[in-house]
Structure 1
């Protein structure tokens, strides 16, 4: 075992010890009392939170991946700089400002939160789609042309399978960002677990704060793990082995 791997294992072990110690402190101090005392309220807030994240992310995926594919085509390559920089506005503008702008147009409620998170999650998916397709070896594409494949066939059989790892990584990034940012939906009447988080902050009550913040954290971790499983299933085995060989 190399020195770097030993250090990585030690760091991971130390991290998990801290996590377990934190959860022990949370449980022993009854920080989940709000969830236990009012489970119906918790599941209502959790459902709202998940709805905001899923809807906004789903629309972002439907927009960004086809747009990224389009911008990698020779006819539309000139528009890449303009479109990416427009999408970049969603990241450069603070999330609170994006929420405020959405609220100004759509009013208070979940719709404004969904639109704000949609705008906020466009860039990582778009950039990773473009980067993933651009990273496909030109010799591989030339070989596909030599075999008689049409541009559409090259896209579906060569470019997208090779870019799948990067595209899913962009979706994973957007989802995790959205899960955390969705807590701010409370500020514009969008509901979600941010209701308990901000209530805890305002009342200096850690039971509210932890009952909202920890489920958000766990949700982000579960989604991240789920996307990693999806990467494993969708990325061709040969590409996975090649990446592992490069890392080692």
Structure 2
């Protein structure tokens, strides 16, 4: 009971600091995923349409390379290139977000039955109309699956961004390790977990709402 009382007091005394770290974490992680989505989704659609296997291979291989680099190593590589702070952290996390969204978008478009496309052509739909009204809608669950998985991973990996001065909940964890403060460590870890779960739940509801609209 005493521990609970101490933890409540900890929140009361450091609420503004905790919320500041929390806000930084949301900003870094969601911006990274957003940038990844606006690049990877159109690129995935393009790759599903092109017949140039060389371009497909190159883009997928390059995206895969970023996934194989350990997070802390990629963040470290960004320091001599972009310094410290938000920019290198967001850049590194953006690169991590590309492959899952790209792969799922490509797979979603490719999974559409060709007969559906032929029917749309017979109805007079232009290529842009087919893409927007039929293909993207049918591929939407695949695309959202990629976005959801990526978002959860990025929220987790953003905790490491603190090591290059980007802040976020990793800052709480590092402070806790530095001062041997279990409340800092627990709070940073717990909030990152809650953020990942709530974001995944929200995206899941959005997926169902759009898919069945």
Report TM bin, short chain: over 0.9
Query: 197, 208, 211: which one pairs with 1:221?
Result: 197
Q: Is the counterpart of residue 199 in structure 1 residue 175 in structure 2?
A: yes
Query: 110, 115, 118: which one pairs with 1:142?
Result: 118
Q: Is the counterpart of residue 211 in structure 1 residue 187 in structure 2?
A: yes
Q: Which residue of 2 aligns with 1:51?
A: 27
Does the aligned pair in 2 maintain the 1:33–1:207 contact within 8 Å? Answer: no
Q: Which residue of 2 aligns with 1:230?
A: 206
Query: 132, 143, 152: which one pairs with 1:176?
Result: 152
Does the aligned pair in 2 maintain the 1:65–1:125 contact within 8 Å? Answer: yes
Which structure is higher in RCO with an 8 Å CA cutoff and minimum separation 6? 2
Superposition pairs for residues 1-248 of structure 1, below 5 Å? 28=4, 30-31=6-7, 33-236=9-212
Task: Tell me the SS of whatever aligns to 1:219.
Answer: helix
- C-alpha deviation, 1:77, in angstroms: 5.0
Task: Calculate the aligned-residue CA RMSD, in Å.
Answer: 1.8
- C-alpha deviation, 1:33, in angstroms: 4.8
- C-alpha deviation, 1:106, in angstroms: 0.4
Q: CA 1:78/1:154 → structure 2, altered by over 3 Å: closer, same or farther? A: farther
Please give the alpha-carbon distance, in whole angstroms, between the structure 2 residues aligned to 1:78 and 1:148: 32
Please give the alpha-carbon distance, in whole angstroms, between the structure 2 residues aligned to 1:190 and 1:153: 42
Please give the alpha-carbon distance, in whole angstroms, between the structure 2 residues aligned to 1:172 and 1:34: 33
Q: TM-score normalized by structure 1?
A: 0.80
Please give the alpha-carbon distance, in whole angstroms, between the structure 1 residues aligned to 2:34 and 2:48: 22
Q: TM-score normalized by structure 2?
A: 0.93
Q: CA 1:177/1:33 → structure 2, altered by over 3 Å: closer, same or farther? A: farther
Please give the alpha-carbon distance, in whole angstroms, between the structure 1 residues aligned to 2:8 and 2:125: 58
Please give the alpha-carbon distance, in whole angstroms, between the structure 2 residues aligned to 1:136 and 1:104: 44
Task: Tell me the SS of whatever aligns to 1:108.
Answer: coil
- C-alpha deviation, 1:201, in angstroms: 2.8
